[in-house]
Structure 1
């Protein structure tokens, strides 16, 4: 039996099937992480050849800090003085002043006793959920994949409630209480800002319900960190009611990594029990220092971001598009998968990169273009985007 047929797991066949379903993805190098950049014309080539400059509305670099010179200098200084990498697990000899300084700054911003940095937001979610290992996890149906995976690995019973529906959460808790022996540990986990719909979880209502049943609340602030002071939890004044705050350093802060914030006891337990922390090399010191500098710079970037969000939302709606959400993420509803793909292609031809999001990522009939403005987009960039959407929409037959 050949290696290909005996141990290939049918990967070639599975790839062909994925491609036939329109679900296969490829890596496409980008020249720089910025509001405008060039994308490789031949993604599979050994040395990328970049095409014309395009305006990027596909990144989570909301505050435009990934390319900020001040953030880059902080990273370079840390690389010179501390090292390019941590060199070991934080629990061995990989715990550096850069980590400690970042964690103090995060705890201060999140108004918690302490914070702990992970190598990624994904690692933070999976590590935290498995370390907490509650008996039951109540999870919003549109939570991020890292929450879903962490919940599965935790061995908890997972109760999925309707998206952003506090009443559905209350019903699920009431039903669980009727069916089981008292004394279970319960955890409610939700994104605070949802990346595909641009909406916000009803965190205050969730806290009310959780407190009624003695449950903890964990909020994933990946898309809120930096954009709101203290994240959405801080924006709503819920720091004392959300026991576990999680965030990323790789979106609005433009660096790399993830973190959790909470009580001293929580952090001590997680750093001892979260396998994705214990058995991983520590976050690279340059990423830690870059994130801390970005955290300092975030407030001065927000006004430009929100001005761009308002211009884009108003402009898109004025030409006839329906725009979901209430945050800095602008999902433009298209409907059918084919129309979203066609609109995506026309926009790229016009020099606008904004991805089509389609099933299974979103429900059937709700395919969309996800528009993510950045603080560093100029007025000309915004006008270019709006003109491209209007022309492409007319060409595809959506307007």
Structure 2
């Protein structure tokens, strides 16, 4: 017979809550100064109106436009009529969505045309378009299934997550330090039982928070000494160099980098990511990259927009406008006393103190300039900064207004 006393004891146990407590977790972020809110923009352009986070309601846009120095729309092509028309034409010809995985029915002639263009510019046999740059990184690393990944300490989160999901042993080397990479590889090579390991070296080419460039030639040298593969993420470089290439092309390394990867959502003003490499690599990814196999193909309007933006980028005029604006803004910021890091179109203005950088960003916004404050844990303590990203479409008057705002805001905060 059932034991009534035992049943009573069981029933008297306190109920346990096996759910989640988002409110408490948000409070912790708030207390640490890490909570973020969405701030809707009226459109994607060099200047636009913004609204405070409506939290599910309709946005109420401010009356005045602000200058945007916070986007990765480096060539300003997201608002270009030619790119918009190409997106619309692709929607009319093919449809608004791919409708299925590309392995089912979602592979169109537009996808193949964009991939041929990318492969041509990257100097490879083929390219493969993914639904995002994040998906391209995660899918490629896991499909390669390396035993060991040597990863730059400042690589993008999508690379970090790809390493985790691949279950590879990850060796993190000092940022942009090819000597540190070579030392780590030599130490690994001295271990017993590593003769048959597959090694992958992964790095961004342009680092989005520091604006600096990986020493790709020296990285290739170190990898080749051990027969390792090199994978380079050109997210912040694709389309910005000669013939629409990235740093790999600028350095003449197309034949030494095994996997070239990038995004269509920054300079190419669209959505999606790509991988470029030899025929066997692309065929492997088609079959084993889970983020490709199990995702609906990139929407045809995004493909059409990216292809037209890439065509414009390869012509060169818009690239020249960007680099002219970059030089003008860097010189101007330094002339009013700011330290500007890096050597690319990303201009990190070093401030140092976390509270100072937040105050500076607020003062800039008061003066009509949107440029984000980057603070720990995104960057190390004592290295907080304003990340300034000019576009090719910013006018000389807008650059001057930005510089004037930085000078006045710096004085108001006590930094100048």
Query: Smaller-chain TM-score range?
Result: over 0.9
Superposed, which structure 2 residues align to 1:205-244 within 5 Å?
205-229=218-242, 230-244=245-259
Which residue pairs with 1:31 in the alignment?
Answer: 42
1:94 aligns with 2:106: yes
Superposed, which structure 2 residues align to 1:4-153 within 5 Å?
6-44=17-55, 46-51=57-62, 52-153=64-165
> Retained in 1: the 8 A contact 2:38–2:53?
no
Which residue pairs with 2:203 in the alignment?
Answer: 190
Output the CA distance in 2 between the equivalents of 1:145 and 1:397: 34
Output the CA distance in 2 between the equivalents of 1:164 and 1:43: 41
> Retained in 1: the 8 A contact 2:206–2:214?
yes
TM-score (normalizing by structure 1):
0.98
Output the CA distance in 2 between the equivalents of 1:28 and 1:235: 36
Output the CA distance in 1 between the equivalents of 2:56 and 2:145: 45
Q: How many angstroms does 1:7 deviate by?
A: 4.3
- Name the CA shift for 1:109/1:67 in 2 (closer, same or farther; >3 Å): same
Q: How many angstroms does 1:8 deviate by?
A: 3.6
Counterpart pick for 1:309 among 326, 343, 361: 326
Superposed, which structure 2 residues align to 1:336-351 within 5 Å?
336-351=353-368
Q: How many angstroms does 1:45 deviate by?
A: 5.6
Tell me the secondary structure at the aligned position of residue 362 of structure 1: coil
Which residue pairs with 1:173 in the alignment?
Answer: 185
Tell me the secondary structure at the aligned position of residue 170 of structure 2: strand
Which residue pairs with 2:270 in the alignment?
Answer: 255
Q: How many angstroms does 1:55 deviate by?
A: 0.1
Q: Deviations over 1:378-399 (max 9, x none)?
A: 0011000000000000110111
The runs of at least 4 consecutive aligned structure 1 residues that moved more than 2 Å come to 5-8, 41-45
Superposed, which structure 2 residues align to 1:265-276 within 5 Å?
265-276=280-291
Output the CA distance in 2 between the equivalents of 1:156 and 1:333: 35
Q: How many angstroms does 1:137 deviate by?
A: 0.2
Q: Deviations over 1:308-335 (max 9, x none)?
A: 0011000000010000000010000000
Q: How many angstroms does 1:42 deviate by?
A: 4.8
Output the CA distance in 2 between the equivalents of 1:371 and 1:347: 11
Output the CA distance in 2 between the equivalents of 1:378 and 1:326: 21
> Retained in 1: the 8 A contact 2:37–2:53?
no
Tell me the secondary structure at the aligned position of residue 387 of structure 2: strand
Show structure 1 runs of 5+ residues with no match: none
Which residue pairs with 1:245 in the alignment?
Answer: 260
Q: Deviations over 1:283-318 (max 9, x none)?
A: 001101110100010122111101100110000000
CA RMSD between the two structures: 1.1
Output the CA distance in 1 between the equivalents of 2:172 and 2:150: 6
- Name the CA shift for 1:47/1:259 in 2 (closer, same or farther; >3 Å): same
Output the CA distance in 2 between the equivalents of 1:218 and 1:124: 12
1:372 aligns with 2:406: no
Q: How many angstroms does 1:43 deviate by?
A: 3.1
Counting matched residue pairs gives 396
Which has the larger Rg?
Answer: 2
Output the CA distance in 1 between the equivalents of 2:192 and 2:389: 44
Tell me the secondary structure at the aligned position of residue 50 of structure 2: strand
Tell me the secondary structure at the aligned position of residue 50 of structure 1: coil
Counterpart pick for 1:325 among 328, 336, 342: 342
Which residue pairs with 1:200 in the alignment?
Answer: 213
